[in-house]
Structure 1
Amino acid sequence: MPSLPPPCLAPLLIALLATSPAVAQILDPPELAVVPRTAAETARIAAITAPPTDFTKPEAFEALPGGAASVRARTTADAFSQSSGNMPFEREMDFKLGNGLFRKLWVAAPSSTLASDGLGPLYNARGCQNCHVKDGRGHAPEGPEDAAVSLFLRLSVPGGVAPEGIEGYLTSLPEPTYGGQLQDFAVPGHAAEGRMTISYVEQPVTLADGTVVSLRAPAYGVADLGYGPLAPDTMLSPRLTPQMIGLGLLEAIPAADILALADPEDANGDGISGRPNIVWSVERNAPMLGRFGLKAGAPTIKQQSAAAFAGDMGISNPLFPAHSGECTEAQTACLAAPTGAEPGVRDGLEVDAAGLDLVAFYARNLAVPERRGLDDPQVLRGKQLFHDSGCAACHRPKFVTHRLEGQPEQSFQLIWPHTDMLLHDMGEGLADNRPEARADGREWRTPPLWGIGLTEQVSGHSHFLHDGRARTLLEAVLWHGGEAEAARQRVISLPKPDRDALIAYLESL
């Protein structure tokens, strides 16, 4: 077990750790078999993860953003679909089996395909791969005829009770009729919940050199509601499916290293006040550090995968065993519909524990591709500007993962995800005004940047941010506000050659 977080952390974390043995799980997922670091290892890690001072050449091991788990950068759409480069051969079968379940298309029950029925009755997609095409980023609909499979709406209303032991938890409840997210598809005989609508208003931003960049500001709504009106105080939050690479490495970052970066009161006065999200672990029935999802609302890959099975596809599993998925008490026909569960088969679930573990193993081991062009002078200049502009204050380049028993792929790797895994106020322009655990309506988790330059190659588009509103990396930067406003202004002031260098650096990641 790593040492306790340092004194600069929010006092609530220290208090929690001191008062409840169960809350010790806040540090790291208990299933990680952690080998404690030696003093010598701790010193080596501090030295190698220190910020760079020489921008004339790449840093040692910078070409391998996923450490030894990195894989050769492919030039096809399969660049994000490779297994960890250091995976032992005997574990490849589990990866392939997990991939099969990830790609499986589910059907409505009852069906002759007993291993694949249980979809819905209300759902957003028929399979994991439908949203995470090629394990990459989803896309915002290009028009009314374009499907919104990989972009959906979270729903909630004010109210609820905070879980015990999480101070500062911002309560909310699922929308009474429609639940926690809008499902725009339904199995035969049922009505879909509704259809997300999006409209955009172009907002010009003039850079210091006179260049005008147009940002599209979205407005979201719901049409064709199938079960009556939404509650008048319903909060909507659009969510674009993120890329899948490197998740296991993010899970293996010591929580103490993440928490050490938290500065909720901005004690150092740099304008950056990252906070950890503390969420409820369904599996452990205790608070844990949130790591995954756009607001760090999930503590583990397993819980995030289980929630997607239940919420996106209506598939029951060990963590979310309701066969009707997101159906609410107001949706009586949905609750009464046939399910894919069979007594004595798959633990009476539609995905059993073994299946969920295989999907989590697959997600944990999607490899990060190697860097491209990292020694190019323009890229090196862009790297210096990335640091000088303050981008690295939140998009922290480097961590070293735990030394782990039983997980050779993630064990003791120097990784370059470019994230601090913390929540940051991103300003009113990106606010969804909807809380999630301790994240308020203006806060988002810093997204990892590794692989971002391969988005168009893998996903066929260049849509960025939590709802895909940004059509280029420069647009994504210009949407930054709040804690990132100072960095945004520095980018706005850059001459075009430097601006191009900064984008070249991002595209090399």
Structure 2
Amino acid sequence: MASSLSNTMILCGIVSIGISMSAGVIANTSTRYQRDDLSETDQVRVSSVTQPTKDFSKAEKFEQKSAGAATSKKRVNKKSFSHSSGNLSFEGERDFKLGNSLFKKIWIASPSSTKASDGLGPLFNARSCQRCHLQDGRGHPPESNQDIATSMFLRLSVPPRTPEEIIAIETGTELRIAEPTYGGQLQDQAVTGLPAEGKMRISYQEKTVHLNGGETASLRAPSYRVEELAYGALDSEVMLSPRIAPPMIGLGLIEAIHEQDILALADPNDHDEDGISGKPSMVFDHDHREKILGRFGWKASNSSIHIQSANAFAGDIGLSTPDVPVPWGDCTINQPSCRSQPHGDQKHLGDGEAPKKVLDLVVFYSKNLAVPARRNVNDAEVLEGKELFYTSGCIGCHQPKYVTRRNAGQKELSFQLIWPYSDLLLHDMGEGLADNRPVGDASGREWRTAPLWGIGLTETVNGHTYFLHDGRARNLLEAILWHGGEAQPSRDTVVDMAPTERRSLLKFLESL
């Protein structure tokens, strides 16, 4: 498909149910939503294309190109998540490579002779972005409690208690209240001479699920604790939530989806009575003093790749940026020995340990990591699995396709037909997956629908098949069987399928 869809089919829907917002409250209205970047003619043309297909006899037009013209067509191998957008310009390739070098950059503690790499920590989870996002792909739990959990960590928070904290949570100016001593996440590494905060420990309990056809599956239910605490006890009301690093592919295209296309899918009160109650995560924009749509992170708590990257620099590596100008990272006032450590702020290089130019190049790199082309889209078993995925109700959350904004800010990401298989909304996933830790609009049972593109290449790229927010699922079937809440009916349908049907469903997912 050409970089512009103007000569092909264009996608975006005409939305019959509008959504009005006031302070993050979503209410259904009869207002007809229209995208502000498309003509009325375009909207009519694309309405039919956005509808889920009912023809499973063959692949849909352009279906192989999951990311439109930005799709990577390179050979499938361990580097399949590390290629640039297929339509990137020469100048874009230059910036992508520069960003890649910074994404892989190993940061070191201050003071050092290598000033451009100065500023690690003092507390951290990884020395580089790449060490969390392995091969730009999916992280995993540690194989044993003796291993450093580099691509996985624990989020920490406590309930709001003071009037100021309660107001901050209610108004959305804060998404959560950090644990008073250990901050927003547990850092299991530290610079020389400073103790790490502690060690995450995981234990699993197996439970058997019986499937139609005499088959069984085993699910491992994790529990989490923290040991070797170096700065005193955790707050008695601390809430822990594990996170593995998600894949980096297609982020720029997700950011380029028009807000109204996502909001149009929201039905928080289930007015259509289909059992699906997706709601948007509205996060506070401190620059403009208003709430905007969040779409990144396991609970959709970040509104842009820029903000997500700045927060990761601060929390994961301990690097300050112009957006998060704290050189001690996640060290709290109750960790004075941490805050007193040397830092790598050097004004002659720019504000922050990772100045604007560094952050901008990492953001550009993150925006342009390409989604690989689909495989076997016309395979009979894949097509059967696709039909089962659609008819089982999975697309109630895993929305197949969109067209990105015509004015996305980068031409290579603009006006592309993409197939992320996500509505990017929050859904109640049931008690089994609950972390019981609210973040902004997301309750302790709600998670953002994870995009599925590229999921079938996880083992090829990362050498494992651990899925869900904490990697508890050891394969795709286990990931499905953990679905509860709004997804319970679809999950039960999979349980009731004939074994050959389940294999076809998994074959479809492996083709994504």
Instruction: Please say whether Structure 1 and Structure 2 have the same fold, judged by a TM-score greater than 0.5.
Output: yes
Superposed, which structure 2 residues align to 1:262-277 within 5 Å?
262-277=266-281
Residue matched to 2:198: 194
Cα displacement (A) at 1:170: 8.7
| Shift in CA distance, 503/335, structure 1 to aligned 2, threshold 3 Å | same
The 1-side partners of 2:454 and 2:331 are apart by: 36
The 1-side partners of 2:494 and 2:308 are apart by: 34
Cα displacement (A) at 1:162: 4.4
Do 2:111 and 2:343's aligned partners in 1 also have CA atoms closer than 8 Å?
yes
The 1-side partners of 2:175 and 2:112 are apart by: 40
Superposed, which structure 2 residues align to 1:364-383 within 5 Å?
364-383=367-386
* Alignment root-mean-square deviation, CA: 2.1
Cα displacement (A) at 1:44: 2.0
Residue matched to 1:42: 43
Note the residue ranges of structure 1 that are not aligned, 5 or more in a row.
Answer: 18-26, 28-33
Superposed, which structure 2 residues align to 1:399-478 within 5 Å?
399-404=402-407, 406-478=409-481
Do 2:13 and 2:46's aligned partners in 1 also have CA atoms closer than 8 Å?
no
Residue matched to 1:243: 247
Cα displacement (A) at 1:4: 12
Superposed, which structure 2 residues align to 1:283-432 within 5 Å?
283-347=287-351, 349-404=352-407, 406-432=409-435
Cα displacement (A) at 1:13: 6.8
Cα displacement (A) at 1:45: 2.0
Partner secondary structure for residue 407 of structure 2: strand
| Shift in CA distance, 10/338, structure 1 to aligned 2, threshold 3 Å | same
| Shift in CA distance, 385/60, structure 1 to aligned 2, threshold 3 Å | same
The 2-side partners of 1:312 and 1:158 are apart by: 23
Do 1:5 and 1:14's aligned partners in 2 also have CA atoms closer than 8 Å?
no
* Greater shift in the superposed pair: 478-487 or 6-15: 6-15
The 2-side partners of 1:505 and 1:5 are apart by: 29
The 2-side partners of 1:6 and 1:352 are apart by: 45
The 1-side partners of 2:430 and 2:469 are apart by: 14
* Alignment deviations for residues 150-187 of structure 1 (CA, whole Å, 9 cap, x no partner): 010000000024459957x9963100000000000000
* Alignment deviations for residues 387-438 of structure 1 (CA, whole Å, 9 cap, x no partner): 1110011000000100026411110000000000000000000000001110
Cα displacement (A) at 1:90: 1.8
| Shift in CA distance, 15/263, structure 1 to aligned 2, threshold 3 Å | closer
Partner secondary structure for residue 213 of structure 1: strand
Residue matched to 2:6: none
| Shift in CA distance, 470/420, structure 1 to aligned 2, threshold 3 Å | same
* Alignment deviations for residues 442-498 of structure 1 (CA, whole Å, 9 cap, x no partner): 000000000000000000100000000000100000000000000001000000110
Choose which of 247, 254, 257 in structure 1 pairs with 2:258.
Answer: 254
Cα displacement (A) at 1:75: 2.4
* Alignment deviations for residues 31-89 of structure 1 (CA, whole Å, 9 cap, x no partner): xxx97211111112211111101100000100000000001152211000000001111
Cα displacement (A) at 1:3: 12
Do 1:165 and 1:287's aligned partners in 2 also have CA atoms closer than 8 Å?
no
Partner secondary structure for residue 173 of structure 1: coil
Residue matched to 1:116: 117
The 2-side partners of 1:398 and 1:343 are apart by: 45
Cα displacement (A) at 1:343: 3.1
* Alignment deviations for residues 217-263 of structure 1 (CA, whole Å, 9 cap, x no partner): 00000000000000000000000100000000000000001000000
Note the residue ranges of structure 2 that are not aligned, 5 or more in a row.
Answer: 1-11, 28-32
Partner secondary structure for residue 411 of structure 2: coil
Do 2:67 and 2:371's aligned partners in 1 also have CA atoms closer than 8 Å?
yes
* Greater shift in the superposed pair: 155-164 or 182-191: 155-164
Residue type matched to 2:344 in 1? G
- Overall identity of the aligned pairs, in %: 54
Superposed, which structure 2 residues align to 1:177-192 within 5 Å?
177-192=181-196
The 1-side partners of 2:269 and 2:26 are apart by: 18
* Alignment deviations for residues 236-292 of structure 1 (CA, whole Å, 9 cap, x no partner): 000010000000000000000100000000000100000000112345443210010
* Greater shift in the superposed pair: 210-219 or 138-147: 138-147
Is 1:490 matched up with 2:493? yes
Cα displacement (A) at 1:216: 0.2
Count of aligned pairs between the two proteins: 491
The 1-side partners of 2:98 and 2:218 are apart by: 44
The 1-side partners of 2:409 and 2:469 are apart by: 34
The 1-side partners of 2:188 and 2:131 are apart by: 14
The 2-side partners of 1:162 and 1:102 are apart by: 37
The 2-side partners of 1:197 and 1:265 are apart by: 38
The 2-side partners of 1:328 and 1:252 are apart by: 35
Superposed, which structure 2 residues align to 1:1-80 within 5 Å?
7-9=17-19, 12=22, 36-80=37-81
